[in-house]
Amino acid sequence: PEGIEWPDHESGRPSFRLEDLTAANGLAHEAAHDALSDVTATIAMAKLVKEKQPRLFDYALQNRGKKQVAAMLDLKARKPFFHISGMLAKEQLYGALMMPLAQHPTNSNGIICFDLSADPEALVSLNEHQIRDRVFTASADLPEGAERIPLKVIHINKAPVVTTHKLVDTATAKRLDIDLERCERNWQRLSSMDLSDKLQLVFREQKFPPKSDAEQQLYGGFLPNQDKGLLDDVRRATASDFSQQQFYFADQRYNQLLFSYRARYFPESLSAEEQQTWLESCRWRLTDEQSGYLTLQQNRRTLDQLLADTSLSDHKRGVLQALESWSATVTQQFGL
Protein backbone atom coordinates (compact mmCIF):
# COMPACT_ATOMS: atom_id res chain seq x y z
CA PRO A 1 0.00 0.00 0.00
CA GLU A 2 1.15 3.55 -0.72
CA GLY A 3 2.74 5.31 2.23
CA ILE A 4 4.23 2.11 3.63
CA GLU A 5 7.78 0.98 2.92
CA TRP A 6 7.89 -2.65 1.85
CA PRO A 7 11.39 -4.21 2.02
CA ASP A 8 12.56 -6.89 -0.40
CA HIS A 9 14.58 -10.04 0.16
CA GLU A 10 17.78 -10.47 -1.87
CA SER A 11 15.73 -12.65 -4.24
CA GLY A 12 13.55 -9.64 -5.05
CA ARG A 13 10.49 -11.02 -3.26
CA PRO A 14 8.95 -8.67 -0.69
CA SER A 15 9.51 -9.56 2.94
CA PHE A 16 6.54 -10.13 5.23
CA ARG A 17 8.70 -10.52 8.33
CA LEU A 18 7.59 -8.21 11.11
CA GLU A 19 11.16 -7.19 12.02
CA ASP A 20 11.87 -6.21 8.38
CA LEU A 21 8.68 -4.17 8.07
CA THR A 22 9.22 -2.30 11.32
CA ALA A 23 12.83 -1.51 10.43
CA ALA A 24 11.90 -0.23 6.97
CA ASN A 25 9.18 2.01 8.40
CA GLY A 26 11.13 3.32 11.39
CA LEU A 27 8.94 1.60 13.98
CA ALA A 28 10.22 0.43 17.35
CA HIS A 29 10.79 -3.31 17.64
CA GLU A 30 13.36 -3.78 20.34
CA ALA A 31 13.36 -7.57 20.64
CA ALA A 32 12.11 -9.47 17.60
CA HIS A 33 10.30 -12.72 18.51
CA ASP A 34 9.81 -11.59 22.10
CA ALA A 35 6.05 -11.94 22.61
CA LEU A 36 5.39 -8.50 24.14
CA SER A 37 7.72 -6.73 21.70
CA ASP A 38 6.07 -8.47 18.74
CA VAL A 39 2.60 -7.45 19.95
CA THR A 40 3.71 -3.82 20.36
CA ALA A 41 5.30 -3.83 16.90
CA THR A 42 2.19 -5.36 15.32
CA ILE A 43 0.03 -2.64 16.87
CA ALA A 44 2.44 -0.02 15.52
CA MET A 45 2.15 -1.51 12.01
CA ALA A 46 -1.64 -1.48 12.28
CA LYS A 47 -1.56 2.19 13.30
CA LEU A 48 0.66 2.95 10.30
CA VAL A 49 -1.78 1.26 7.91
CA LYS A 50 -4.70 3.12 9.50
CA GLU A 51 -2.84 6.42 9.13
CA LYS A 52 -1.62 5.93 5.55
CA GLN A 53 -4.51 3.88 4.14
CA PRO A 54 -7.59 4.50 6.31
CA ARG A 55 -10.08 3.10 3.78
CA LEU A 56 -8.09 -0.12 3.42
CA PHE A 57 -7.80 -0.43 7.20
CA ASP A 58 -11.52 0.17 7.77
CA TYR A 59 -12.51 -2.32 5.06
CA ALA A 60 -10.25 -5.05 6.42
CA LEU A 61 -11.44 -4.38 9.97
CA GLN A 62 -15.14 -4.41 9.09
CA ASN A 63 -14.89 -7.55 6.96
CA ARG A 64 -12.59 -9.64 9.13
CA GLY A 65 -15.40 -11.52 10.86
CA LYS A 66 -16.26 -15.13 10.19
CA LYS A 67 -19.79 -14.24 9.10
CA GLN A 68 -18.65 -11.67 6.52
CA VAL A 69 -15.97 -13.96 5.07
CA ALA A 70 -18.38 -16.91 4.89
CA ALA A 71 -20.82 -14.77 2.90
CA MET A 72 -18.08 -13.92 0.41
CA LEU A 73 -17.12 -17.61 0.06
CA ASP A 74 -20.70 -18.90 -0.17
CA LEU A 75 -20.58 -22.45 -1.56
CA LYS A 76 -24.14 -22.28 -2.85
CA ALA A 77 -23.58 -19.16 -4.94
CA ARG A 78 -19.92 -20.01 -5.74
CA LYS A 79 -19.27 -16.52 -7.01
CA PRO A 80 -15.73 -15.37 -7.81
CA PHE A 81 -13.94 -13.20 -5.26
CA PHE A 82 -10.62 -11.39 -4.98
CA HIS A 83 -8.14 -12.71 -2.42
CA ILE A 84 -4.86 -11.20 -1.20
CA SER A 85 -2.33 -13.43 0.55
CA GLY A 86 1.42 -13.80 0.93
CA MET A 87 0.93 -17.40 -0.26
CA LEU A 88 -0.13 -16.28 -3.74
CA ALA A 89 2.08 -15.53 -6.75
CA LYS A 90 4.49 -12.60 -6.63
CA GLU A 91 3.90 -12.06 -10.36
CA GLN A 92 0.29 -11.09 -9.59
CA LEU A 93 1.32 -8.99 -6.60
CA TYR A 94 -0.05 -11.63 -4.22
CA GLY A 95 -3.62 -11.20 -5.44
CA ALA A 96 -5.89 -13.62 -7.32
CA LEU A 97 -9.43 -14.01 -8.54
CA MET A 98 -10.69 -17.24 -6.99
CA MET A 99 -13.88 -19.21 -6.49
CA PRO A 100 -15.01 -21.44 -3.61
CA LEU A 101 -15.44 -25.10 -4.55
CA ALA A 102 -15.87 -27.24 -1.43
CA GLN A 103 -15.95 -27.40 2.35
CA HIS A 104 -12.81 -28.80 3.93
CA PRO A 105 -13.59 -32.39 5.03
CA THR A 106 -12.23 -32.09 8.58
CA ASN A 107 -12.19 -28.35 9.33
CA SER A 108 -15.57 -26.65 9.14
CA ASN A 109 -13.85 -23.26 8.94
CA GLY A 110 -11.88 -24.18 5.82
CA ILE A 111 -13.13 -23.52 2.29
CA ILE A 112 -11.26 -25.11 -0.64
CA CYS A 113 -10.82 -22.48 -3.37
CA PHE A 114 -9.32 -22.38 -6.88
CA ASP A 115 -7.26 -19.68 -8.59
CA LEU A 116 -9.24 -18.82 -11.73
CA SER A 117 -6.15 -17.67 -13.61
CA ALA A 118 -5.13 -21.32 -14.00
CA ASP A 119 -6.45 -23.90 -16.45
CA PRO A 120 -8.94 -26.10 -14.53
CA GLU A 121 -8.56 -29.09 -16.89
CA ALA A 122 -6.36 -31.07 -14.50
CA LEU A 123 -8.75 -30.35 -11.65
CA VAL A 124 -11.63 -31.70 -13.71
CA SER A 125 -10.00 -34.71 -15.38
CA LEU A 126 -7.61 -36.12 -12.74
CA ASN A 127 -8.64 -38.36 -9.85
CA GLU A 128 -8.16 -37.43 -6.19
CA HIS A 129 -4.79 -39.20 -5.88
CA GLN A 130 -3.37 -37.42 -8.93
CA ILE A 131 -4.73 -34.08 -7.76
CA ARG A 132 -3.25 -34.58 -4.29
CA ASP A 133 0.18 -35.13 -5.87
CA ARG A 134 -0.20 -31.92 -7.89
CA VAL A 135 -1.29 -29.92 -4.84
CA PHE A 136 1.06 -31.10 -2.10
CA THR A 137 4.23 -31.73 -4.12
CA ALA A 138 6.71 -28.87 -4.55
CA SER A 139 6.89 -27.55 -8.12
CA ALA A 140 10.56 -28.54 -8.40
CA ASP A 141 9.67 -32.16 -7.57
CA LEU A 142 6.85 -32.54 -10.10
CA PRO A 143 7.42 -34.51 -13.33
CA GLU A 144 8.52 -32.47 -16.33
CA GLY A 145 5.59 -30.62 -17.88
CA ALA A 146 3.35 -31.03 -14.83
CA GLU A 147 2.20 -27.94 -12.95
CA ARG A 148 0.85 -27.56 -9.44
CA ILE A 149 -2.91 -27.18 -9.19
CA PRO A 150 -3.58 -23.85 -7.43
CA LEU A 151 -6.04 -24.98 -4.78
CA LYS A 152 -5.96 -23.06 -1.51
CA VAL A 153 -7.81 -23.59 1.75
CA ILE A 154 -9.05 -20.25 3.09
CA HIS A 155 -10.04 -20.28 6.76
CA ILE A 156 -13.03 -18.06 7.42
CA ASN A 157 -12.09 -17.69 11.11
CA LYS A 158 -8.58 -16.32 10.44
CA ALA A 159 -9.52 -12.89 9.04
CA PRO A 160 -8.41 -13.51 5.43
CA VAL A 161 -8.45 -10.56 3.03
CA VAL A 162 -11.30 -11.29 0.60
CA THR A 163 -13.28 -8.77 -1.43
CA THR A 164 -15.80 -8.69 -4.22
CA HIS A 165 -14.37 -9.51 -7.64
CA LYS A 166 -15.77 -6.19 -8.87
CA LEU A 167 -12.79 -4.39 -7.33
CA VAL A 168 -10.63 -5.92 -10.06
CA ASP A 169 -11.42 -3.57 -12.92
CA THR A 170 -9.55 -3.51 -16.24
CA ALA A 171 -6.78 -1.24 -14.95
CA THR A 172 -6.28 -3.29 -11.78
CA ALA A 173 -6.28 -6.54 -13.74
CA LYS A 174 -3.58 -5.19 -16.04
CA ARG A 175 -1.44 -4.12 -13.08
CA LEU A 176 -1.85 -7.55 -11.46
CA ASP A 177 -1.37 -9.42 -14.76
CA ILE A 178 -4.79 -11.06 -14.42
CA ASP A 179 -6.64 -12.07 -17.61
CA LEU A 180 -10.26 -11.25 -16.79
CA GLU A 181 -11.69 -13.08 -19.81
CA ARG A 182 -9.75 -16.22 -18.96
CA CYS A 183 -10.95 -16.07 -15.34
CA GLU A 184 -14.52 -15.63 -16.54
CA ARG A 185 -14.29 -18.69 -18.82
CA ASN A 186 -12.78 -20.83 -16.07
CA TRP A 187 -15.42 -19.71 -13.58
CA GLN A 188 -18.24 -20.50 -16.02
CA ARG A 189 -16.82 -23.97 -16.62
CA LEU A 190 -16.36 -24.82 -12.94
CA SER A 191 -19.75 -23.36 -12.02
CA SER A 192 -21.43 -26.01 -14.14
CA MET A 193 -20.00 -28.97 -12.18
CA ASP A 194 -19.76 -30.21 -8.61
CA LEU A 195 -16.24 -31.24 -7.59
CA SER A 196 -16.82 -31.13 -3.85
CA ASP A 197 -16.72 -34.90 -3.21
CA LYS A 198 -13.45 -35.33 -5.09
CA LEU A 199 -11.84 -32.31 -3.45
CA GLN A 200 -12.82 -33.48 0.02
CA LEU A 201 -11.02 -36.75 -0.68
CA VAL A 202 -7.96 -34.75 -1.76
CA PHE A 203 -7.86 -32.78 1.48
CA ARG A 204 -8.89 -35.52 3.86
CA GLU A 205 -6.15 -35.77 6.47
CA GLN A 206 -3.64 -38.49 5.74
CA LYS A 207 -2.85 -40.94 8.52
CA PHE A 208 0.85 -40.69 9.24
CA PRO A 209 2.58 -43.38 11.31
CA PRO A 210 2.78 -42.29 14.95
CA LYS A 211 6.08 -40.90 16.22
CA SER A 212 7.80 -43.22 18.69
CA ASP A 213 9.83 -40.40 20.27
CA ALA A 214 7.81 -38.50 22.88
CA GLU A 215 9.66 -35.25 22.13
CA GLN A 216 8.22 -35.35 18.60
CA GLN A 217 4.64 -35.99 19.72
CA LEU A 218 3.62 -32.36 20.10
CA TYR A 219 0.09 -33.11 18.85
CA GLY A 220 -0.24 -36.51 20.51
CA GLY A 221 -2.91 -35.40 22.97
CA PHE A 222 -3.13 -33.65 26.33
CA LEU A 223 -1.79 -34.89 29.64
CA PRO A 224 -4.33 -37.01 31.61
CA ASN A 225 -5.73 -35.28 34.68
CA GLN A 226 -4.31 -37.92 37.04
CA ASP A 227 -0.78 -37.04 35.87
CA LYS A 228 -0.97 -33.27 36.27
CA GLY A 229 -0.20 -33.22 39.99
CA LEU A 230 2.94 -35.26 39.42
CA LEU A 231 4.41 -32.51 37.23
CA ASP A 232 4.80 -30.23 40.26
CA ASP A 233 6.58 -33.01 42.14
CA VAL A 234 8.99 -33.47 39.23
CA ARG A 235 9.73 -29.73 39.06
CA ARG A 236 10.61 -29.67 42.77
CA ALA A 237 12.69 -32.85 42.70
CA THR A 238 16.47 -32.85 43.14
CA ALA A 239 19.06 -35.26 41.74
CA SER A 240 18.88 -37.15 45.03
CA ASP A 241 15.09 -37.42 44.76
CA PHE A 242 15.37 -38.89 41.27
CA SER A 243 17.93 -41.44 42.48
CA GLN A 244 15.87 -42.58 45.45
CA GLN A 245 12.28 -42.13 44.31
CA GLN A 246 10.18 -43.43 41.40
CA PHE A 247 8.05 -40.98 39.43
CA TYR A 248 5.60 -42.85 37.23
CA PHE A 249 3.14 -41.25 34.79
CA ALA A 250 0.09 -43.05 33.43
CA ASP A 251 0.88 -41.42 30.06
CA GLN A 252 3.97 -43.24 28.75
CA ARG A 253 5.08 -40.18 26.77
CA TYR A 254 5.83 -38.37 30.01
CA ASN A 255 7.91 -41.23 31.32
CA GLN A 256 10.07 -40.83 28.20
CA LEU A 257 10.21 -37.08 28.70
CA LEU A 258 11.12 -37.52 32.36
CA PHE A 259 14.05 -39.75 31.41
CA SER A 260 15.32 -37.11 28.95
CA TYR A 261 14.82 -34.41 31.59
CA ARG A 262 16.90 -36.33 34.12
CA ALA A 263 19.62 -37.09 31.56
CA ARG A 264 19.95 -33.44 30.56
CA TYR A 265 19.67 -31.71 33.92
CA PHE A 266 20.45 -34.38 36.53
CA PRO A 267 22.83 -36.82 34.79
CA GLU A 268 24.19 -37.90 38.17
CA SER A 269 20.79 -39.45 38.93
CA LEU A 270 21.16 -42.00 36.09
CA SER A 271 22.29 -45.55 36.73
CA ALA A 272 25.09 -47.02 34.59
CA GLU A 273 22.48 -48.79 32.44
CA GLU A 274 20.46 -45.58 32.03
CA GLN A 275 23.60 -43.65 31.08
CA GLN A 276 24.28 -46.16 28.30
CA THR A 277 20.67 -45.92 27.10
CA TRP A 278 20.93 -42.12 26.95
CA LEU A 279 24.26 -42.28 25.11
CA GLU A 280 22.80 -44.61 22.47
CA SER A 281 19.74 -42.37 22.13
CA CYS A 282 21.93 -39.32 21.51
CA ARG A 283 24.03 -41.17 18.96
CA TRP A 284 20.88 -42.28 17.16
CA ARG A 285 19.57 -38.72 16.95
CA LEU A 286 22.94 -37.40 15.75
CA THR A 287 23.53 -40.00 13.04
CA ASP A 288 20.25 -41.49 11.78
CA GLU A 289 18.41 -39.29 9.26
CA GLN A 290 15.24 -41.32 9.93
CA SER A 291 15.24 -40.14 13.54
CA GLY A 292 13.49 -36.88 12.71
CA TYR A 293 16.31 -34.86 14.29
CA LEU A 294 19.03 -32.79 12.64
CA THR A 295 22.01 -35.11 12.23
CA LEU A 296 25.64 -34.02 12.41
CA GLN A 297 26.04 -34.72 8.70
CA GLN A 298 23.01 -32.60 7.81
CA ASN A 299 24.30 -29.88 10.11
CA ARG A 300 27.72 -30.03 8.42
CA ARG A 301 26.19 -29.63 4.95
CA THR A 302 24.09 -26.68 6.06
CA LEU A 303 27.04 -24.94 7.73
CA ASP A 304 29.21 -25.43 4.63
CA GLN A 305 26.52 -23.87 2.44
CA LEU A 306 26.05 -20.89 4.75
CA LEU A 307 29.78 -20.27 5.23
CA ALA A 308 30.29 -20.27 1.46
CA ASP A 309 28.37 -16.97 1.29
CA THR A 310 31.04 -14.31 0.81
CA SER A 311 28.62 -11.53 1.78
CA LEU A 312 28.25 -12.75 5.38
CA SER A 313 28.86 -10.16 8.07
CA ASP A 314 31.63 -10.81 10.58
CA HIS A 315 29.03 -11.37 13.29
CA LYS A 316 27.09 -14.00 11.31
CA ARG A 317 30.28 -15.75 10.24
CA GLY A 318 31.38 -15.83 13.87
CA VAL A 319 28.09 -17.44 14.91
CA LEU A 320 28.45 -20.11 12.22
CA GLN A 321 32.04 -20.80 13.22
CA ALA A 322 30.93 -21.20 16.83
CA LEU A 323 28.39 -23.77 15.64
CA GLU A 324 31.19 -25.53 13.76
CA SER A 325 33.22 -25.70 16.94
CA TRP A 326 30.23 -27.00 18.89
CA SER A 327 29.63 -29.71 16.25
CA ALA A 328 33.24 -30.84 16.55
CA THR A 329 32.88 -31.02 20.34
CA VAL A 330 29.70 -33.10 20.08
CA THR A 331 31.32 -35.41 17.53
CA GLN A 332 34.21 -36.04 19.91
CA GLN A 333 31.98 -36.31 22.98
CA PHE A 334 29.89 -39.12 21.50
CA GLY A 335 32.74 -40.84 19.68
CA LEU A 336 31.29 -40.29 16.22
pLDDT per position as a tens digit, 176-211 = 999 999 999 999 999 999 999 999 999 986 554 555
> Residue length, the chain?
336
* Rounded Cα gap, residues 134 and 129, in angstroms: 9
* Rounded Cα gap, residues 16 and 38, in angstroms: 14
pLDDT tens digits for range 298-324: 999 999 999 999 998 999 999 999 999
In this prediction, residue 219 carries a pLDDT of 66
Sorted by where each starts, the structural domains of the chain and their CATH numbers stand as: 18-61 (no CATH), 65-203 (3.30.1520.20), 214-333 (1.20.1280.70)
The pTM assigned to this predicted structure is 0.61
What is the four-CA torsion angle of 115, 198, 196, 219, rounded to 10 degrees? -80
Low-confidence ranges of the chain (pLDDT < 70): 11, 32-33, 205-212, 218-219
In three-state form (DSSP H/G/I as H, E/B as E, the rest C), the secondary structure along the chain is: CCCCCCCECCCCCECCCHHHHHHHCCCCCCCCCCHHHHHHHHHHHHHHHHHHCHHHHHHHHHCCCHHHHHHHCCCCCCCCEEEECCCCCHHHCCEEEEEEEEECCCCCCEEEEEECCCCCHHHHHCCHHHHHHHHHCCHHHCCCCCCCCCEEEEECCCCCEEEEHHHCCHHHHHHHCCCHHHHHHHHHHHHCCCCHHHHHHHHCCCCCCCCCCHHHCCCCCCCCHHHHHHHHHHHHCCHHHHHHCCCCCCCHHHHHHHHHHHHHHCHHHCCHHHHHHHHHHHHHHHHCHHHCCCCHHHHHHHHHHHHCCCCCCHHHHHHHHHHHHHHHHHHHHCCC
